[in-house]
């Protein structure tokens, strides 16, 4: 081997088998166990199966062969040795006698032979109830009494038949089966105490009948057919009711009253009626009233004779949903005894309040917010009660539907989501947006309101973290450029120039010389310290100044009064502007004045808006006056008629003398 480095013999394989011995006891892995079985079960009824495990090799010997036995719980239960099934061993096990049993089960290996290992477990077995017991009255005769002042529905007394069964197996119902008071009394079952409650069906009268006898039967509501042969499941007892005489105040038919009335119902709406009665032999009438200390605000009134409660004003559920008052009934006559009853009035809700935002906080949006970004989820509240499956509906108000900044999505769960619809907000352009949102409560009748959502633009970093929402740094920057300052100064200078020009134009504006028609000028005398040009004022007379422009169409309004009627144009009146016959002109004016029915019988002063050039102070004459001689030809004065003869002679003579010289 040293020379060739090869084994002298080929390798061999050895298999070593470890032989098991019984060194592990059986174990119940899920103990302790709990089981239930009905009472009165037949012998051999399966309760449950228990199983133990053994870690030894089940293929070698009997080390893992288990046998089950019962160590505790006999003679009530037994266990099958091979399967571990627990069964009842006694008949008629009664839950009412014993309800729980502690059973100990043993599992032993080696087939249960000597030297085997064992393990045990506990099983708690509970008997469940069945209806195997009829109800039973503790006594055969019951005595009760009732005062004659009791009213219908009031309790007379109670009796109870005992049934040891549980749940529905122990339910008992009561009824009258005979007696002379079956029409006067009634019996019901109190489900909580399982007692029979005897009540008055109608009032009793001591003077008419003083005692009643009734026979009551108590029976199980649910009877198990398996045990019907053990019946009957009922029992009877006799009840004697004695009527007592009483002198009591009026008694209300109920111990308390509960009514409902809709909010906003008009005043005088009937809420309900309370009823009290004098149970004495005299049976005096009863008067009702509401003590003011129970209804301080006097929301209700009660009819003094009929006991009908009415509202005195519309009620608001949101202010006070319940009204708890008392009504007093007083016996009229006798001892004037009175009694009170509690009246609870519930104000039923009417949908009369519009929904509104749950909070009024501002919503913040980043300047760099991208379209479609959710910025807020808003909710609403309503003072009214919400009906089942009622939710708020949100929508953008019609006046803002076409806005391009924000959109709204109704989530149909009384909330709405606000989204950004455009990119690029700027606080310098607009820092606050107002979005009107209409909220509808889908009630009956539906109510809606428009609430304004305030959205403020803020500066954010790249991670949408808000840095600042203050707009002052953008409105009042720390410094302005030179170009901006020049533009502002230029605007100020232009505004000042416009103001100065406007003031200068106002100062140069003259007051009008004409007299307005509204001014009353009759009988007015105006004194001027000036002297006209006299007869030598040859250039002062101008016939055009005597012509009124209104006279061109034949109508001359009076300026000393305000005419009440408007007269049509006179036919045949020619233009006066070209006429040189002053005599005819004056006659025409006199004729117009005399024929005017609206003119008063007094003279007036005609004002002409013309002033001569003759003197420094100005001339009073309506004719143009000059102080220098004129080369005008005055021969036309001869054609003006005899009234101007003197004037014509003066000027004509002067002209003739000048010619002769």
Q: How confident is the model at residue 473 (pLDDT cuts 50, 70, 90)?
A: very low
- CA–CA dist 228, 217 (Å, integer): 18
Percent of the chain's residues with pLDDT above 70: 79
pLDDT at 134: 87
Q: 613 to each of 343, 547, 608, 609, 647, how far by Cα in Å?
A: 105, 20, 15, 13, 22
Q: 475 to each of 241, 364, 369, 468, 482, how far by Cα in Å?
A: 94, 19, 22, 14, 18
pLDDT per position as a tens digit, 11-40: 888 888 777 777 788 989 888 999 999 988
pLDDT per position as a tens digit, 642-652: 777 777 777 76
Q: Take residue 628 and report the two structure tokens written for it.
A: 């220098």
- CA–CA dist 160, 173 (Å, integer): 10
Strand order in the sheet with 67-72: 33-38, 118-128, 100-108, 67-72
Highest mean pLDDT among 393-407, 461-475, 608-622: 393-407
Q: Which CATH number fits domain 251-348: 3.40.630.30, 2.60.40.60, 3.40.50.460, 3.90.230.10?
A: 2.60.40.60
pLDDT at 586: 84
- Is 251-348's fold the same as 356-468's? yes
- According to CATH, the topology of domain 141-244 is Immunoglobulin-like (2.60.40)
- CA–CA dist 156, 541 (Å, integer): 131
Average pLDDT over residues 383-405: 84
CB 403 within 8 A of CB 435: yes
Q: Which of 441, 472, 448 is nearest to 459 (CA)?
A: 472
pLDDT per position as a tens digit, 176-191: 999 998 999 999 999 8
pLDDT at 655 over 70: no
pLDDT per position as a tens digit, 107-157: 998 887 787 888 999 999 999 888 888 899 999 999 999 988 788 999 999
pLDDT at 340 over 90: yes
CB 319 within 8 A of CB 352: no
| DSSP-based three-state secondary structure for 652 | helix
pLDDT at 261: 93
CB 132 within 8 A of CB 223: no
Q: How confident is the model at residue 308 (pLDDT cuts 50, 70, 90)?
A: very high
- CA–CA dist 254, 275 (Å, integer): 8
- According to CATH, the topology of domain 27-128 is Immunoglobulin-like (2.60.40)
Q: pTM higher than 0.75, yes or no?
A: no
pLDDT per position as a tens digit, 479-505: 566 778 888 999 999 999 999 988 888
Q: Exposed/middle/buried for 165, CB within 10 Å: 0-12, 13-18, 19+? A: buried
pLDDT at 314: 93
pLDDT per position as a tens digit, 525-552: 555 555 555 555 555 445 454 455 444 4
- Of residues 96 and 345, the one with the higher pLDDT is 345
Which residue ranges make up each domain of the chain?
Answer: 27-128, 141-244, 251-348, 356-468
Q: How confident is the model at residue 519 (pLDDT cuts 50, 70, 90)?
A: very low
140-155 in b/e form (b: 16+ CB < 10 A) is: eebebebbbbbbeebe
- CA–CA dist 92, 285 (Å, integer): 66
Q: Which CATH number fits domain 356-468: 2.40.110.10, 2.60.40.60, 2.30.31.70, 1.10.10.10?
A: 2.60.40.60
| DSSP-based three-state secondary structure for 199 | strand
- CA–CA dist 578, 576 (Å, integer): 5
Residues in Cβ contact with 181 at an 8 Å cutoff, skipping those fewer than 6 apart: 212, 213, 214, 241
Q: How confident is the model at residue 632 (pLDDT cuts 50, 70, 90)?
A: low
- CA–CA dist 530, 618 (Å, integer): 7
Q: Report the mean per-residue pLDDT for the chain.
A: 80
CB 375: neighbour CB atoms within 10 A?
15
CB 90 within 8 A of CB 78: no
Peptide bond into 547 cis (omega under 30): no
């Amino acid at each position: 081997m040293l020379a060739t480095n090869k084994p002298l013999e080929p390798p061999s394989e050895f298999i070593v088998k470890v032989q098991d011995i019984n060194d592990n006891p059986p174990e119940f892995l899920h103990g302790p166990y709990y089981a239930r079985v009905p009472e009165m079960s037949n012998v051999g009824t399966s309760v449950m199966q228990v199983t133990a495990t053994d870690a030894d090799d089940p293929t070698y010997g009997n080390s893992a062969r288990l046998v089950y036995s019962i160590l505790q719980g006999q003679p009530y239960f037994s266990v099958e040795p091979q399967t571990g099934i627990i069964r009842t061993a006694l008949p008629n096990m009664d839950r009412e006698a014993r309800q729980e049993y502690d059973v100990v089960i043993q599992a032993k290996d080696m087939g249960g032979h000597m030297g085997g290992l064992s393990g045990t477990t506990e099983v708690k077995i509970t008997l469940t109830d069945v209806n195997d017991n009829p109800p039973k009255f503790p006594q055969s005769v019951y005595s009760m009494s009732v005062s004659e002042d009791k009213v219908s529905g009031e309790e007379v007394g109670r009796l109870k038949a005992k049934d040891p069964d549980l749940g529905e197996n122990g339910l008992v119902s009561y009824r009258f089966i005979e007696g002379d008071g079956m029409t006067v009394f009634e019996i019901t079952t109190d489900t909580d105490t399982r007692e029979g409650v005897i009540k008055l069906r109608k009032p009793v009268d001591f003077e008419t009948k003083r005692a009643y006898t009734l026979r009551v039967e108590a029976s199980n509501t649910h009877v198990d057919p398996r045990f019907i042969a053990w019946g009957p499941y009922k029992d009877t007892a006799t009840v004697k009711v004695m009527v007592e005489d009483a002198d009591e105040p009026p008694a209300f038919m109920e111990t308390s009253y509960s009514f409902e009335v809709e909010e906003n119902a008009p005043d005088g709406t009937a809420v309900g009626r309370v009823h009290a009665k004098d149970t004495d032999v005299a049976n005096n009438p009863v008067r009702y009233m509401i003590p003011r200390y129970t209804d301080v605000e006097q929301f209700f009134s009660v009819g003094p004779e009929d006991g009908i409660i009415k509202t005195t004003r519309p009620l608001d559920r949101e202010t006070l949903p319940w009204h708890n008052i008392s009504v007093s009934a007083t016996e009229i006559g006798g001892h004037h005894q009175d009694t009170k009853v509690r009246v609870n009035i519930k104000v039923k809700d009417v949908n009369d309040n519009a929904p509104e935002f749950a909070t009024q906080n501002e919503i913040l949006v980043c300047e760099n917010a991208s379209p479609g970004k959710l910025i807020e989820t808003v909710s609403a509240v309503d003072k009214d009660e919400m009906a089942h499956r009622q939710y708020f509906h949100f929508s953008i108000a019609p006046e803002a539907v076409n806005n391009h900044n924000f959109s709204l999505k109704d989530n149909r769960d009384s909330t709405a989501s606000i989204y950004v619809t455009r990119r690029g907000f700027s606080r310098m352009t607009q820092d606050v947006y107002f979005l009107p949102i209409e909220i509808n409560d889908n009630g009956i009748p539906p109510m809606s309101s428009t609430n304004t959502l305030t959205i403020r633009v803020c500066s954010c970093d790249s991670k949408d973290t808000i840095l600042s929402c203050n707009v002052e740094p953008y409105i009042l920057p720390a410094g302005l450029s030179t170009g901006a300052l020049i533009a502002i100064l230029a605007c100020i200078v232009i505004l000042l120039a416009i103001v100065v020009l406007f003031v200068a134009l106002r100062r140069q504006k003259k007051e009008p010389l004409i007299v307005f028609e509204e001014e009353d000028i009759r009988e007015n005398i105006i004194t001027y310290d000036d002297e006209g040009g006299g007869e030598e004022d040859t250039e002062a007379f101008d016939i055009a100044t005597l012509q009124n422009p209104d006279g061109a169409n034949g109508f001359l309004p009076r300026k000393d009064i305000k005419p009440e009627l408007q007269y049509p144009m006179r036919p045949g009146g020619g233009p006066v502007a070209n006429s040189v016959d002053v005599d005819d002109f004056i006659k025409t004016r006199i004729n117009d004045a005399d024929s005017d029915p609206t003119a008063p019988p007094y003279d007036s002063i005609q004002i002409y808006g013309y002033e001569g050039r003759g003197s420094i102070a100005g001339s009073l004459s309506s004719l143009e006056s000059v102080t220098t001689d004129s080369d005008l030809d005055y021969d036309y004065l001869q054609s003006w008629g005899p009234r101007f003869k003197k004037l014509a002679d003066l000027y004509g003579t002067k002209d003739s003398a000048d010619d002769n010289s």
